[in-house]
A and B are shown apart, each in its own frame.
Chain A
Amino acid sequence: MIHVPAIMSPVSKIKDRDSARNKDNLLIRAMIIRGIRQFFIDRDYLEVETPIRIPAPAPETYIDAVPSDGWFLHTSPELCMKRLLAAGYSKIFQITKCFRDKERGKHHLPEFTILEWYKTGIDYWEIMNECEDLFLFISHYLGMGEIIRYRDMKIDLRKPWIKISVRDAFECYSPLSLEKAMEDNRFDEMVACHIEPHLVCEKPVFLYDYPVSLGALARSKKDDPTVAERFEIYMGGLELANAFSELTDVDEQRARFTEERAHRHELGQTTYPMPQIFLDALHDMPDSAGIALGIDRMIMIFTGTDTIDDVVTFTPEKL
């Protein structure tokens, strides 16, 4: 059961109406973050902190960084964490704030909390395994058991979760073929409008093996270079996490970044400097896999809300 810290004020004393409404959620939030730390410490992961303000974010076509006095606020700690892998750290995790410009919606905040973890010597299949373990651990930590209720749904967290490849998902649910969707630049639209609604089921879903051009930092499959070893987690209609077997080929990585930068340039978006120090470090990075998981959305799952505003202290609109 949740241990309630003695410092919590009763709702009647909280002047701010929204904070009062979110009071239980903030308590669960604190417990989840405590549980995440416990989970990774138990597994001998090292907690790290990398700088939030950086000179060169990863050039990804559809992720916009917030400028900060000539540098940028990071959109993910990925590049710095991979430099740590290259420097010899083998199991690391980080809980940090990330910033993505112009992202605001029911499931999006321009400032949000991310959990990333990386491990050397493994691939994305093992990360899937750890995701299942993490959610089961947190659910037990909150006293919730293996099957939880989320809004009007039941989510069965027991292993194994469902695994569907992107190709199979397109064949089953998309009106456009995967090839056609890629050609017309409608991949995201097909996933969001036609595939995602089918991924809302009693078990969490791993959607895996994306077209290689959609995984700028992911390793391609040995037997099929057109596919990137990347997966996303869908749970209760929420997209929760994105993971890769990490790309360690420097030339390939530079080529992908060059391509992403060209796309950004075509779309009239800010082009970021090439992250040269990261590319140099990649020479020393062993095979590894890693993942970015949205903590706010994970909290939404365990607090039963469909609105990200309900799980944070203050949204930008309230500041």
Chain B
Amino acid sequence: MYNASDLRKNLKIQIDGDPYVITEFQFVKPGKGQSLYRCKLRNMINGNQFERTFRSVDTFQTADLQEKKMQYLYPEGNKYCFMDLETYEQVYLTEEQLGDAKNFLIDSLEVEILFFGDTPLGITLPNFVELTVTRADPWVKGDTAAGNSKPVTVETGYQLLAPPFVEEGEKIRIDTRTGDYVTRVKN
């Protein structure tokens, strides 16, 4: 149970049976008046947003959220299948729920899946993944006109900028939070 004074940005609460995350928060209090808590909330299941002003007498249920370690298995239509490493139970996330994460999903990748009860809501990737470059223009030594970076494509189809010396077949490390090239990985 939360009180209104516990409300803050990113807090997850339950309203009418659904989990909500507070996306914007402002504490408002007229000098002599009562405390008001102006919130923007996003429904974590359907993404709907709304604004509401709460008062100090309001209380909230905590959202029954839990993160589980799971392994990525395979895509199926526009869904992606993951398996619980302890129970072997499988769940599916939609492309929408994955967002940018689908750019970094390779076989057997271990990820954290966020659940509300039994409903999977979203995914947290490891901060870094190592992916094989499947397409890159060849590097001509001494060609300074080409600049400091060039577009390369990795095994998931994701395209990013990498230094000119990165070649096809090599592995590179990518920061999943920014989607940027970090370094070349020697086999």
Q: Does A62 contact B (CB under 8 A)?
A: yes
Q: A192-217 interface mask toward B, CB cutoff 8 Å, 1 = contact, 0 = none?
A: 11000000000000000000001110
A239–B27 CB distance below 8 A: no
The answer on a CB contact under 8 Å between A102 and B32 is: no
Cβ of B147 under 8 Å from chain A: no
Nearest CB of A to B23, in Å: 16
Which A253-299 residues have a C-beta within 8 angstroms of B? 267, 292, 294
Residues of B within 8 A of A108 (CB): 27, 29
Known: A102-B35, A188-B36, A189-B53. A239 touches B26 (CB 8 A): no
Q: B32 and A60: CB pair below 8 A? A: yes
Bound together, the chains give a CA A105 to CA B36 distance in angstroms of 11
Q: Which of B27, B30, B57 contacts A105 (CB 8 A)?
A: B27
| B26: chain A residues within 8 A (beta carbon) | 105-106
How far is A282 from B33 in the complex, measured between Cα atoms in Å? Answer: 25
B28's partner among A105, A185, A214, A215 (CB-CB below 8 A) is A105
Any B CB within 8 A of the CB of A52: no
Is A242 in the interface zone, CB < 8 Å from B?
A: yes
* B5 interface contact, C-beta 8 A: yes
Asked if A103 CB lies within 8 Å of chain B CBs, one says: yes
Q: Which of B5, B28, B33, B38 contacts A62 (CB 8 A)?
A: B33
Task: Give Cα A150 to B86, complex, Å.
Answer: 58
Question: Interface digits, B44-55 against A, CB 8 Å rule (1 contact, 0 not)?
Answer: 000000000101
Q: In the bound complex, what is the Cα–Cα distance between A191 and B29 (angstroms)?
A: 10
Interface string of A18-61 (1 = CB under 8 A from B): 00000000000000000000000000000000000000000011
Q: Is A116 an interface residue (CB 8 A)?
A: no
- As a 0/1 sequence over residues 11 to 48 of chain B, the CB contacts with chain A under 8 angstroms (1 = contact) are 00000000000000011111111111010000000000
In the complex, which residues of chain A have a beta carbon less than 8 angstroms from the beta carbon of B53?
Answer: 189, 192-193
- B30 partner residues in chain A, CB cutoff 8 A: 188, 191-192, 232, 239
Which residues of B lie under 8 Å from residue A214 when comparing CB positions?
A: 32-33
Tell me whether A163 is interfacial, beta carbon within 8 Å: no
The distance in angstroms between the C-alpha atoms of A214 and B32, with both chains bound, is: 8
Contacts of B55 in A (CB 8 A): 189
CA distance A60 to B33 in the complex (A): 9
List residues of B (104-138) whose CB comes within 8 Å of A's CBs: none
What are 27 pairs between A and B in contact, CB < 8 Å? A62-B33, A62-B34, A102-B5, A103-B29, A103-B35, A104-B27, A105-B28, A106-B26, A106-B27, A108-B27, A185-B34, A188-B34, A188-B36, A189-B36, A191-B30, A192-B30, A192-B36, A192-B38, A193-B53, A214-B32, A214-B33, A216-B32, A232-B30, A239-B30, A239-B31, A242-B31, A267-B57
Which B residues fall within an 8 A CB radius of A?
5, 26-36, 38, 53, 55, 57
